[in-house]
Structure 1
Amino acid sequence: MTHVTRCPFTALSIAVALTFYSHSTSGQAPGAAKKMELDSPLLQPWTGPHGGVPPWNLVRSEEFVSAFDAAIDESNADIKAITDNAEKPTFENTIIAMERAGRTLSRLEAIFFVYASNLNIGPIPDIEKVIVPKLSEHEDSIYQNKELFARISSVYENPAMTDGTFDLAQRRLVDDTYKTFLRKGAKLKRSDKAKLSQMNTRLARLFTDFSQNVLADEKGYVTWIKDKSELGGLPESVIAAMANAAKDRGNQGGDWAITNTRSSMDPFLTYSSNRPLRETVWRNYYSRGDNGDKYDNNKIIAEILKIRAARAKLLGYATHAHWRMEPTMAKKPEAAMDLMMKVWPKALARVREEVADMQKIADEEGAKIKIEPWDYRYYAEKVRKAKYDLDFNEVKPYLQLDKLREAMMWAATQLYGLHFKQLSGIPVFHPDVTVWEVTDADGKHVGLWYLDPYAREGKRSGAWMTDYRAQENMGTPITTIVSNNSNFIKGADGEAVLISWD
């Protein structure tokens, strides 16, 4: 027996290129909230080995909002110190000073946005809706700061930019800073700056709502299986992962669960012989944010597009695409579209060939179906077997997650001379996370690498890299702290996690 439930919403590649609910204060004595802000570990420099590490063990979600208010105030003070400097603008007292401004805010953002991406549960969604618009407004206050832009312009127009005084790195930093300010509206008149800030703040809220709606649908749609007969075609490793997913959810709808994430959906669509169930799982995943309910994103998308178009016009660009593409290698959307149209006809022709191959096998089997999107992965496996005698099920036992991690570390050692040593005693934000020290061929510390490999409630889909601390070589070198995040499905206790070739 199979059914789909709508659960209530409650709110690895290794980065070898290591080179970045607020409680009410009503009734508190005057100054109490401010003291909490100053005392919060969220606002303190990181302590511990290798220049300090994020204090995950000291994070209290109720401190986030007030901590951000304090950190933004400090960042504003840093910017004011730059603009109040009576000395002539120089690379050091303007550009470098800007790079060093807002350090407390940068550390706080690094911590909070891990919660927003990896642990978006409990009060975090509501906190995110408060914080993101604050950050948008703060960013605009910097880019629209007339005195600050005047100092940047002075450095940009300095002969040192062209006479060889500045080295390549300095010229690039000055050029990028100046042009970024232009793209962010630094030269707009005052009334237009206000309009731009309103647009950016609204977009920040819309982007947050959009991502939280997708996350809600990933949390909310679970396909349950009660009858073992409906597991046809699935490898034991996939069945074990589905059983573990069901166990994590209290087996509330059955003994096996397909969650609404790619890492759960993909293997099911690849191997399950149950076509109606494949369609259900496919539609759940590809309808995230498009279900006509309170988590539907269609109106949000329409408003985002409308505001983006108006913002582009305000900034002097034909379209949002022109604004977005300007700092890229393509420069213009026409160039990107030209490249895409060179590839598109060939890609489309190849897709038609592949679907024809799938249809042929389905016809030979007497399936009496027309190949649909939820059939692609399933019949692609059959085509591979028929054409090349290649069965990825025979390959998968060799693709153990821990062994692949070890292999990638070995490759990083062979290619780049990097070495990895797992550390203990370092605070982490979830028990699944492991921490590794990375050293070079001479044993010199290069950085720290955090690995968060498994799917969980409140973690967004996909795989991504982020940096908790960027590498820096201004004065005293600062080593980086980076992380890789993915969404592999855990197997049963003690069993190796097997991943697909894709």
Structure 2
Amino acid sequence: MNNNPLLSEFKTPHQTPPFNKIAVSDYMPAFEIALKQAKEDIAQIINSIEEPTFDNTIVALENAGEKLSIISSIFFNINHAETNKEIQAIARDISPMLTEYSNDIWLSETLFEKVKTIFQIRDELGLNEEQSKLLDDTYKAFSRKGALLSGEKKDRYREISTKLSKLTLQFGENVLAETNAFKLHITKEEDVAGLPEAIKSAAKQLAKSEEKEGWIFTLQYPSYVPFMKYADSRELRKKMYMAYSTRANHGNEYDNKDIIKSIVNLRLEKAQLLGYENHAQYVLEERMAKSPEKVNSFLNELLNASLPFAKDEVIEIEKYAKTNGLNDTLQRWDFSYYSEKVKAEKFDFTEEMTKPYFQLEKVEEGIFDLATSLFGISFKENKNIPVYHEEVKAFEVYDDTKQYLAVLYVDFFPREGKQGGAWMTNYGEQFITSEGHNIRPFVSLVCNFSRPTEDTPSLLTYNEVTTFLHEFGHGLHGMLSQTTYKSLSGTNVYRDFVELPSQIMENWAMEKEWLKKVGKHYKTGETIPDELVDKILSSANFQSGYLSVRQLSFGMNDMAWHSLNEKFEGSVAHFEDTAMAATELFPSVEGTCFSSAFSHIFAGGYAAGYYGYKWAEVLDADAFSVFKQNGIFDKATATSFKDNILCKGGTKHPMDLYVAFRGQEPTNEALLKRSGLIRK
């Protein structure tokens, strides 16, 4: 067992995970041993006869199960980015075991008594701000995770937690399976009419890799989105739309509707066991928004501002479509197609025009250079750092004094074993050991960008450039962390605050000065022309009302599911229709269901938190106004943002961190102004 690479010392650069040595068969034995060690760590705290102190209880709890944390982060990140049936089976086996371990901590009366003893005398302990936050968070975690329950209620809490860990895992597996299951194989030239050459080339290469003639399109973002924008065949657009919008809603083994019912009902029961009316109330107690009422008011305020614009935008597309041959009602599978044509006519611009200037490697270099100019950090690829897939690259990150800061992994392209979308995660958190060593983080950015083809490198759409900036912003939050405790470092902040560092970075994609630095033609090296940049910027608010309403509809759907006060037994599709009715701009389509593939809230950490994207848009628009005022590369402003927000993790309340940078609390005005959602 000593040969298990997960249990041995990591003899790799910076002690990064030894991906090149880990076999799938290593995971479960490693989990079993690490879980045993973690339980011993906890037992030692529980059984200690010493008077409870901040160090022997709170810090000891923080540090317990360190090996288990490392193995868990490696395993579950791989389960998202490079999974297979074996890994998924292990995930199903280990998740309840890890839930049981957590419950043994949070439901331990002895442990809670020790924590409570320290919490009650906190004012006498002379704790610094970060120590106080850790103590406060630990006490609240016990009370919010069942420590105040007794008898049958405690047993039921355990049961619910275990069931939820299994169900949320299954939800995500089902969405991945359904996404991978559909492929549109086209053999007739007329069926790919309207599609740009680069999109056809990628689809042809995929068909060739499967030893088929013609073209293959999938439900992966780089394939699905352009097909919906450009394919002239209305029938095939509908086929693609229906495949995408009915995922995990086919009444087969991958159907998620019953899983949704079970998840929302168990979350409701758990919240009510803990004394809350519903899951949203439970979650929002620990968010900037604080209550469901505040969130709903926020969403409705933005909806009222956005909806009139969205309705006008849909009418505009409807008129255009009718004038240009659509003899039917404008449907969802028509909207992107005709919108792209209107955008092209209105602004003489399509996203395909910019792709030659956004070669992935050049964009990567441009984003790294931006981080250097703002925060003084630099990046150096190290091919000796093991990676989990041959396409992954690993960089060492250094601060402005050339001190090692972090390892950054980047993983850009879609694969069958990778979930859709884009995300940032950690393979190791930043923290300071009891001996004073600053352990630096291992940060990973995972995306699903357009692949290179036989004759072109990976060329990004403008939207993919903003996605890269977004995830890189999360990465900065992790890489620049300077906290003492792991649970307070990096992105371990309130969910409605975590999107501020990511979304503020997107603003540079709206700045001509930066776009000129990053936009270089992949063949000629020519800088992106001013005329094309002007078209990007002038079209930036095209359909901003519609896009705002769409995002708000997701938040409203989330809030409706998690504001239920009574057990749900009805139709998932009908409930969703009702929840999103105020945002509806198109006829409903039989058989489609957004919720059945809404992984953010049913398989991720955004339950009762999806509004956070919009919340953080308010923060980022307001915060970026300081950069606009002082200069988008202003070092002093960047340093203030880094010192007050990026380095601080969750060591203070988010609003305190925000005000320390901004000097005031944010308002909606900057966002509405930036989005063009204020009537002139």
Query: Same fold per TM (> 0.5)?
Result: yes
Q: Is the 8 A contact 1:418 1:440 kept in 2?
A: yes
State whether structure 2 residue 436 is matched by structure 1 residue 472. no
Secondary structure at the counterpart of residue 223 of structure 1 = strand
Structure 1 range deviating more: 103-112 or 370-379? 370-379
State whether structure 2 residue 149 is matched by structure 1 residue 188. yes
Q: Is the 8 A contact 1:110 1:467 kept in 2?
A: yes
What is the match of residue 168 of structure 1? 129
Q: Is the 8 A contact 1:245 1:259 kept in 2?
A: no
Secondary structure at the counterpart of residue 13 of structure 2 = coil
What's the % identity of the aligned pairs?
Answer: 34
Alignment of 1:181-220 (within 5 A): 181-220=142-181
Instruction: Tell me the distance in 1 between the aligned counterparts of 2:208 and 2:422.
Output: 24
Deviations for 1:274-316, whole angstroms, at most 9, x for unmatched residues? 1111111111112111112111100111111111111111111
Q: Is the 8 A contact 1:44 1:104 kept in 2?
A: no
Instruction: Tell me the distance in 2 between the aligned counterparts of 1:155 and 1:263.
Output: 53
What is the match of residue 393 of structure 1? 352
Q: Is the 8 A contact 2:5 2:26 kept in 1?
A: no
Pairwise CA distance, 1:108: 0.6
Q: CA RMSD in A?
A: 1.5
Deviations for 1:23-58, whole angstroms, at most 9, x for unmatched residues? xxxxxxxxxxxxx3x4411122322222x0101111
Amino acid at match of 1:66: P
CA distance 1:103–1:45, shift in 2 (3 Å): farther
Pairwise CA distance, 1:480: 0.7
Instruction: Tell me the distance in 2 between the aligned counterparts of 1:250 and 1:210.
Output: 32
Q: Is the 8 A contact 1:261 1:285 kept in 2?
A: no
State whether structure 2 residue 104 is matched by structure 1 residue 141. yes
CA distance 1:249–1:154, shift in 2 (3 Å): farther
Q: 2:11 aligns with which of 24, 47, 53?
A: 47
Instruction: Tell me the distance in 2 between the aligned counterparts of 1:45 and 1:342.
Output: 54
Instruction: Tell me the distance in 2 between the aligned counterparts of 1:182 and 1:207.
Output: 23
Pairwise CA distance, 1:101: 1.0
Pairwise CA distance, 1:65: 1.9
* Structure 2 gap segments, 5+ residues each: 464-680
Pairwise CA distance, 1:259: 1.2
Pairwise CA distance, 1:164: 7.6
Instruction: Tell me the distance in 2 between the aligned counterparts of 1:402 and 1:248.
Output: 24
Secondary structure at the counterpart of residue 367 of structure 1 = coil
Amino acid at match of 2:137: D
Pairwise CA distance, 1:230: 1.4
Q: 1:224 aligns with which of 174, 185, 196?
A: 185
What is the match of residue 86 of structure 1? 49
What is the match of residue 261 of structure 1? 220
Deviations for 1:61-108, whole angstroms, at most 9, x for unmatched residues? 123222212111110001111122222111111111112111110111
Secondary structure at the counterpart of residue 488 of structure 1 = coil
Q: Is the 8 A contact 2:396 2:407 kept in 1?
A: yes
Alignment of 1:4-19 (within 5 A): none
Alignment of 1:350-389 (within 5 A): 350-389=309-348
Secondary structure at the counterpart of residue 162 of structure 1 = helix
Pairwise CA distance, 1:163: 5.3
Q: Which has the higher contact order (CA 8 A, sep 6+)?
A: 1
Q: 1:499 aligns with which of 443, 448, 460?
A: 460
Amino acid at match of 2:428: R
Deviations for 1:361-380, whole angstroms, at most 9, x for unmatched residues? 11221222322111222122
Instruction: Tell me the distance in 2 between the aligned counterparts of 1:219 and 1:446.
Output: 37
Q: 1:282 aligns with which of 241, 251, 255?
A: 241
What is the match of residue 644 of structure 2? none
Q: Is the 8 A contact 1:240 1:491 kept in 2?
A: no
Alignment of 1:343-354 (within 5 A): 343-354=302-313
State whether structure 2 residue 279 is matched by structure 1 residue 323. no
Secondary structure at the counterpart of residue 233 of structure 1 = coil
Pairwise CA distance, 1:494: 5.2
Instruction: Tell me the distance in 2 between the aligned counterparts of 1:137 and 1:228.
Output: 56
CA distance 1:163–1:89, shift in 2 (3 Å): closer
What is the match of residue 455 of structure 1? 414
Instruction: Tell me the distance in 2 between the aligned counterparts of 1:133 and 1:250.
Output: 41
Deviations for 1:219-249, whole angstroms, at most 9, x for unmatched residues? 1011111112211111111112212322343
TM-score using structure 1 length: 0.89
State whether structure 2 residue 147 is matched by structure 1 residue 156. no
Q: 2:443 aligns with which of 482, 493, 501?
A: 482
Q: Is the 8 A contact 1:45 1:104 kept in 2?
A: no
Q: Is the 8 A contact 1:355 1:371 kept in 2?
A: no
Instruction: Tell me the distance in 2 between the aligned counterparts of 1:391 and 1:309.
Output: 46
Deviations for 1:417-440, whole angstroms, at most 9, x for unmatched residues? 010111112211101100001001
Runs of 4+ deviating beyond 4 Å? none
Q: 1:408 aligns with which of 363, 367, 372?
A: 367
Pairwise CA distance, 1:402: 1.5
Pairwise CA distance, 1:130: 0.7
Q: Is the 8 A contact 1:271 1:378 kept in 2?
A: yes
What is the match of residue 66 of structure 2? 103
* Structure 1 gap segments, 5+ residues each: 1-35
Structure 1 range deviating more: 464-473 or 384-393? 384-393
Instruction: Tell me the distance in 2 between the aligned counterparts of 1:119 and 1:458.
Output: 5
Deviations for 1:318-357, whole angstroms, at most 9, x for unmatched residues? 0011111111011111111110011113322222111111
Instruction: Tell me the distance in 1 between the aligned counterparts of 2:56 and 2:425.
Output: 29
Q: Is the 8 A contact 2:13 2:384 kept in 1?
A: no
Instruction: Tell me the distance in 2 between the aligned counterparts of 1:89 and 1:39.
Output: 38
Amino acid at match of 2:9: P
Instruction: Tell me the distance in 1 between the aligned counterparts of 2:114 and 2:3.
Output: 34
